[in-house]
Structure 1
Amino acid sequence: MNQSERIEQKQLQGLVFAAFLTDSFIQPFGQRSSVLPARVAILSSGLQLAVLALIVWIYMRAAAKRGPGRAASVVLCGALAVSIALEMIQGERFYSYVMDQQLPVALFLALVFVAAWYGAYSGLGALGRTARVILALTTVSVILLAASVAPQLRFSHLQTPPAELREIGRAAAAQFYLPPELVLLPLLADRKACAKGGGRVIGSIFAVNCLLCVLGELTLGPAYTQQTQPVFTIARLGGLSVFRRMDALHVGVWLLLFLIKVALYFAGFIRLWKHSFPPKNEHVPFWAALVLVVGVFFAAWNRNETWAFWVQQGLLATAVLLIFATGRRRKKA
C-alpha cells in the first residue's frame, strides 16, 4: 500500500462521516420525497439509525476477524459502481434545482467525475485530510445558516402531530437504507487498526439531522413538510447584515461534501478491485471503474432509477452477509 493510501482511523471515520453527512443536506435518492414534521422525523430517524447501528456493529465484528473474500469484494465493487452512478444523477439534479445559471449537464458530470477520480487517485490519506477541511467549512456553514434565520425562528411554528409507534415504525422503514460508506468503514483501514467508529458516526449524523429538522420547522412552520430540499429553502431565506443571499455559499459547501462522497466510493472500488484482482498495471482499476460507472449511469439516466437503488441495496446486503458468513466460518475453524 502506497503512503498516499494510508489513513489513520480517526481520519477514516471523519471521511466516512463527511460522506454520510451529504444526505443530511441534499435530499437523498431513493428516499420518500415528502418531508416529515420535525417531531416524527426525529423519532423515526432515531429508530432507523438505532437499527442501522445494530447491523453495523454486528457487521464490523465480522469484518474485523477477516477481510472481504473475493466474492464479497466483487459484489461490493458492483454496489459501488451503481452507487457512484446514482450519486452523480442525484448531484446533477440537485445542482439543476438550486442554481439559476447552470453548466451543461455533460460538463457538470464530466467535472464531477474528473474531480472524484483525481481524489481517489490521490489516496485515502489525502481524502481524509480534505474531508477534515470540508467538515470545518460545513460547521461554519451551519452556524451561519442558524444565525441568518435567527430573526425568523418561532417556537409557535413547531408542529405537534400525533406520534404513534406504528406511524413512527412505518416512517423509519420507509427511510431505511444501507449507506455504502458504512460498509466500507472497516474495509479501508489496515486490519491491525480496523475501524470501529460506526456507532460514533451514526450518532453524530442523528444529532445533525435533529438540529436541521428542528431549525427548518422553527423557520417554516407547516410549510416545512412541503419542501423538496428543506435545508436549501431555509438557506435562501436567511441573511446577515448586507449579505441577503447566502445560499450560494452553503450550496458550495454541500457540493464539496458530495464530491468527497463520490471520491470515497471510487477509492473503495479501487481498493477492493486491487484486493480481488491484483493488477500488473495500477491504472486498470480506474478504467474498470470508469467503464462500469458510465454503463450504469446511462442505463439509469432519465429513467425510473428506483430499480437501480434496490439493486444497490441488494448488492450491499449480499456483501455484508458474505463477510459475516466468512467471519463466522473462521471463528468455527
Structure 2
Amino acid sequence: MNRQKLNAKTLLPALFLMVTIDLAITSFMEKEYFRAQIAIPATVIDSILIYVILLFVLRFSSGKCFGRGLQFLLLLIMAFSCGCTLVRTEQFFRFTSDASYTSLAVYVVFLMLLFYVLRTGMEATIRLANLLIWPFAGSLILLIIANIAQMKPENLILKPFSMGDILHAAFSGFFLSPVLLLVLNYLQVKNPENKNSLAKFFWAFTLLTIFLKLCEEMVLGEQTAQQTQVLHSLSRLGRLSVFKRLDALHVFVWSMAEAAKASVYVCAVQSSLLRITPNRMHSELKSIGCVAIGLGLALLCPESLQECIQSVGTGVFMLMLILQVCLERRLHHAENNG
C-alpha cells in the first residue's frame, strides 16, 4: 500500500507544534541544568546533527514504501509515544490544578477523545493541529510581553566554560523525536520546496529554543535551575495591564496542543495498523487498544527511560529503513546483472 503523502505547508506546521509544545511542558524528572551560555551552542549542535541525520535517511527512503516489519516497528513507537504524551499531560494537569481526581479516570477520558479523533482521519487531525499553532504562538507572545519588565540581562549566568561543557550539554540534550518518523512517512520529499521548508522548520525551532532560554534566564536567573516547569513559572510571574495572572489561559492552550500531539500519534498508529492488516473493521478499537498498551508501558517506565526508548526506537527505525533500501538496491542490481 502506498503511503499517504502531504505537502510541507500541511504537515510541517503540525509537526512544529508537536516539538515546540515540549518547550512549554517539559519533563518532570530531575535533569542537569545547563545555563544559557552553554545550552545555546549545545542546542545548535543538536539541531544541526539531527537535521543532517534526517536528510541522510530521507535520501535513502525517498519514494520507498515501508515493509510490514517497519510498519510494525512504527506502530510500536507511535503507540508508546502517544502513551508517553498522555502520561505527561496528566502529570501537567496534576501539577497545575488543585482538583483531586484519579489518574485512571483522566486516562479513560483521554482514550475516549482519541477514539473520536480516529473517526476523522490523519489529514483532518493534521489540519486541526495547524489551527492550534496560532493560539499556541499567541500564548508564547503573551508570556514574553507579560515578563518583559522583569527581564534583566544581568541575570544571565556568565562563567568560564570549555568546549567539553558544550559537548556534554549537547549529548545530554540529544533526542531523536518520533516526530521525525512522521516526516519520513508523510512528507513529499521529492519536491525541492519541501526540503527548503524542512530546513526552515529546524531553524525556526532552534531560534525559538534559544530565545525562550534567554528569556527564562533573564527573568529567573539562577532560580531557573530550581523550577519544575520553567515556562509555567513565568506564566505565574507575568503581569499584563490589569490582568495579574494569565497562567490558566496558558495551561488551557498548552493542554490543547498536547492533545493535538497525542491525536497525530494515534492516527499514525491507525495508519500503520491498516498497512499491516488492511481490514478496516474495528480499526479504531484496535488502534485504541495499541495506545492503551503503550500507555501501560509508559506508566511502568520512569521518564528518563521513556525518552531513551523513544530516541533509540527512532534511531533503530531509521537504521532499519536504510538497511531495507540498501538490500532492495542490491537485489535490483543483481537481477539486472543476471
TM-score, structure 2 as length reference: 0.88
Over 3 Å counting, the alpha-carbon distance change for 1:190 and 1:44 in structure 2 is closer
* SS of residue matched to 1:113: helix
RMSD: 2.4
State which structure, 1 or 2, has the greater radius of gyration over its C-alpha atoms: 2
Alignment of 1:38-117 (within 5 A): 38-101=36-99, 103-117=101-115
Aligned partners of 2:274 and 2:280 also within 8 Å:
no
- Once residues 54 and 209 of structure 1 are traced to their aligned partners in structure 2, the CA distance between those partners, rounded to angstroms, is 19
Please name the residue that 2:262 is paired with.
262
Shift in Å at residue 309 of structure 1?
3.7
Aligned partners of 1:39 and 1:160 also within 8 Å:
yes
* SS of residue matched to 1:66: coil
- Once residues 267 and 182 of structure 1 are traced to their aligned partners in structure 2, the CA distance between those partners, rounded to angstroms, is 15
Over 3 Å counting, the alpha-carbon distance change for 1:54 and 1:213 in structure 2 is same
Over 3 Å counting, the alpha-carbon distance change for 1:123 and 1:40 in structure 2 is same
Segments of 5+ residues of structure 2 without an aligned counterpart are: 333-338
Please name the residue that 2:162 is paired with.
164
1:305-328 deviation per Cα after TM superposition (whole angstroms, max 9, x unaligned): 544443333332221112112223
- Once residues 27 and 261 of structure 2 are traced to their aligned partners in structure 1, the CA distance between those partners, rounded to angstroms, is 12
Q: Which moved more, 1:81-90 or 1:320-329?
A: 320-329
Count of residues in correspondence between the two structures: 327
Give the ranges of 4+ consecutive aligned residues of structure 1 lying more than 4 Å apart after TM superposition.
Answer: 189-195
Aligned partners of 1:66 and 1:326 also within 8 Å:
no
- Once residues 76 and 113 of structure 1 are traced to their aligned partners in structure 2, the CA distance between those partners, rounded to angstroms, is 20
Aligned partners of 2:58 and 2:189 also within 8 Å:
no
Shift in Å at residue 302 of structure 1?
5.9
Please name the residue that 1:272 is paired with.
272
1:15-63 deviation per Cα after TM superposition (whole angstroms, max 9, x unaligned): 111111111111147x762432112111111111111111111112222
Please name the residue that 1:15 is paired with.
14
* SS of residue matched to 2:62: helix
Over 3 Å counting, the alpha-carbon distance change for 1:150 and 1:309 in structure 2 is closer
Aligned partners of 1:32 and 1:175 also within 8 Å:
no
Please name the residue that 2:252 is paired with.
252
Please name the residue that 2:210 is paired with.
210
Over 3 Å counting, the alpha-carbon distance change for 1:280 and 1:272 in structure 2 is closer
Is 1:147 matched up with 2:142?
no
Please name the residue that 1:242 is paired with.
242
- Once residues 137 and 238 of structure 1 are traced to their aligned partners in structure 2, the CA distance between those partners, rounded to angstroms, is 18
Is 1:135 matched up with 2:140?
no
Over 3 Å counting, the alpha-carbon distance change for 1:288 and 1:309 in structure 2 is farther
Identity of aligned residues (%): 23
Is 1:224 matched up with 2:210?
no
